[in-house]
Amino acid sequence: MPILSAVSTIKAKTLVNPISVLARSFASVAGEPKPLHAHYPVVPGSLTAHLQLRTGETFTGGSFGASSSAIGETVFTTSLVGYPESMTDPSYLGQILVFTQPLIGNYGVPRRSRDQYGLLKHFESEKIQCKGIVVSDYATKYSHWNAVESLSEWCEREGIPAITGVDTRALVHILRGQGSTLGSLSVGAQPLKADKIEWSDPNQNNLVAEASTDAVRVFNPDGDVHVALIDCGVKYNIIRSLCDQGARVSLVPWNHNLAANLSSYDGIFISNGPGSPSHCHETISQLQQAFSSYQRPIFGICMGNQLMGMAAGLNAYKLRFGNRGHNQPAVDLTNGKCVITSQNHGYALDDSQMPKGWSRYYVNANDGSNEGIRHLEKPFRSVQFHPEAKGGPLDTAYLFAEFVDSVRQAKLANVPATLTESADRQAATA
């Protein structure tokens, strides 16, 4: 077991230097070195791994993944369970994922079984999406009735580096203090020389384009309503949740020509996705055209919320360290009720001034950031959190039922898809 040792004395209300908040550490640190280099006693015979932040801090521990290196944005999740779902969530594309839950790997990795829609039951995509993982204490022995391999074996097989023995409390203090930071995860006796690391910010790339499908795919073809699901990096449980409500789902690329096919869809859904929404100009343009003429329901989740907001005229900004976990409280501004939600995002909408015709829908009870928007007249709305919440909680799963029910009601009422279609009907009956 790692030995606790005090590394500094915290001065009251002093948050200028994130290193000053390291009240105790699993690592042995002599004095107050700058930059910080925290060492964990690696088990003899095991490989050594290093997490190096661009700001100079280094954490050395044991390797339990692939013997490779990775560079990405270092972020943390407060989720207590669901590491297979988190690691396969496309929203973590380009990121090194830090788990604040101390013990990781104790229930292994489940089998790759599929449901009636052809989707993996226990994973949110076909592969691990994050660049690497960081944990405090990796469980070398796992136990679960559905497990077929260890977390270490899974990471090795998919080429994902992983480090254990990191004082994740100290690391999270740093990330909260200075914000999400680029990191390098490598395996070797010594850390990489700082001037040899080729830093690359994944948020400078269009990660949505990388995560999205490149062809239309149909799920639950016998569904009674047809929903276009814009794939910005969709989680499988979003597809499943729509199908479970009886919808036929057409998964379309992020830059799909939506405007040319509006009449084909009974409803439109925009998924979650990785990175900055500022790269998705084509999606935003398509949504703007849809807002001006589409009359049937539109709903967005996470990245979908940001893209709908930007299409409506709002700006998006980068959060200091994001909201990632299964315990984020969001208040429904239509009724004052608070729900506990699953979240995974590093950007948010600036809703300080809402565009005409739009209103705030949900707000984060912790930091006051936007958690959703809705149109005051048209059936358009979105949420920043994840109602599908694979890994839990399920407080807001009802939003899928509400959306598909509204799509079904619009179809039964024979609501025209567009204003043009509405005008054509009126002309035909004149």
Does residue 29 register a pLDDT over 60?
no
- Mean pLDDT for 339-360 is 97
Radius of gyration of the chain (CA): 23
Indicate which residue of 243, 302, 345, 371 is catalytic. 302
Contacts of 24 (CB under 8 A, 6+ apart): 4, 5, 6, 7
Q: Is the pLDDT of residue 254 over 60?
A: yes
Measured between alpha carbons, how far is 27 from 58 in angstroms, rounded to an integer? Answer: 11
Q: Which two tokens stand for residue 296?
A: 């049937």
Q: Give the pLDDT score at 429.
A: 80
Region 381-390: what's the mean pLDDT? 96
- How open is the CA angle 345-348-349, to the nearest 5 degrees? 150
Least-confidence region, from 3-7, 80-84, 279-283, 346-350: 3-7
Active site residue 279: no
Residues 173, 56, 206, 341, Cα dihedral to 10°? -10
- Per the CB < 8 A criterion, the answer to whether 372 and 384 are in contact is yes
Res 361: pLDDT = 98
Residue 213 confidence (pLDDT): 98
Q: Identify the band that residue 7 occupies on the pLDDT scale cut at 50, 70 and 90.
A: very low
pLDDT band at 46 (very low <50, low <70, confident <90, very high): confident
| Cα angle value 88/92/94 (rounded, 5°) | 115
pLDDT (tens digit, 9 = 90+) per residue, 132-183? Answer: 999 999 999 999 999 999 999 999 999 999 999 999 999 999 999 999 999 9
Q: What is the pLDDT of residue 37?
A: 84
Residue of 122, 326, 345, 386 marked catalytic: 386
> What are the E-state strand segments in 26-102?
37-39, 48-53, 58-63, 70-77, 95-99
Angle at 371 between CA 368 and CA 372, to 5 degrees: 135
Q: Tell me if residue 334 falls in helix, strand or coil.
A: coil
Q: What is the pTM of this model?
A: 0.91
**Average pLDDT score over residue span 48-58:** 96
Amino acid (one-letter) located at 27: A
The arithmetic mean of pLDDT across residues 276-286, rounded, is 98
Reading the block at residue 77, the tokens are 């999740």
Q: Are 264 and 124 in contact (CB under 8 A)?
A: no
Mean pLDDT of 252-269: 96
| pLDDT score for 4 | 31
For residue 2, pLDDT over 60 is answered with no
Residue 28 clears pLDDT 50, i.e. is over it: no
396-414: per-residue pLDDT in tens? 999 999 999 999 999 999 9
> Is the bond leading into 35 cis (omega within 30 degrees of zero)?
yes
Per the annotation, the verdict on 144 as an active-site residue is no
pLDDT value at 31 more than 90: no
Give the pLDDT of residue 426: 83
59 touches 167 (CB < 8 A): yes
State the virtual CA torsion across 29, 32, 37, 38 in degrees, nearest 10: 30
Q: How confident is the model at residue 34 (pLDDT cuts 50, 70, 90)?
A: low
| Mean pLDDT of the region 33-57 | 84
- Using the predicted structure, report yes or no on whether residue 6 has a pLDDT greater than 90: no
pLDDT at 427: 83
Identity of residue 205: N
Structure confidence at residue 335 (pLDDT): 97
Judge whether 232 counts as a catalytic residue.
no
CA atoms within 13 A on the CB side of 91: 32
| pLDDT, average across residues 363-367 | 97
Higher local confidence (pLDDT), 28 or 226: 226
Task: Give yes or no for a contact between 310 and 243, defined as CB atoms under 8 angstroms apart.
Answer: no
Helix axes 236-244, 398-412, angle to 10 degrees: 50
pLDDT at 16: 35
Residue 13 has pLDDT above 50, yes or no: no
Choose the weakest-confidence range: 14-28, 190-204, 237-251. Answer: 14-28
pLDDT digits (tens, 9 = 90+) for 92-123: 999 999 999 999 999 999 999 999 999 999 99
Q: How far apart are CA 275 and CA 176, in angstroms?
A: 19
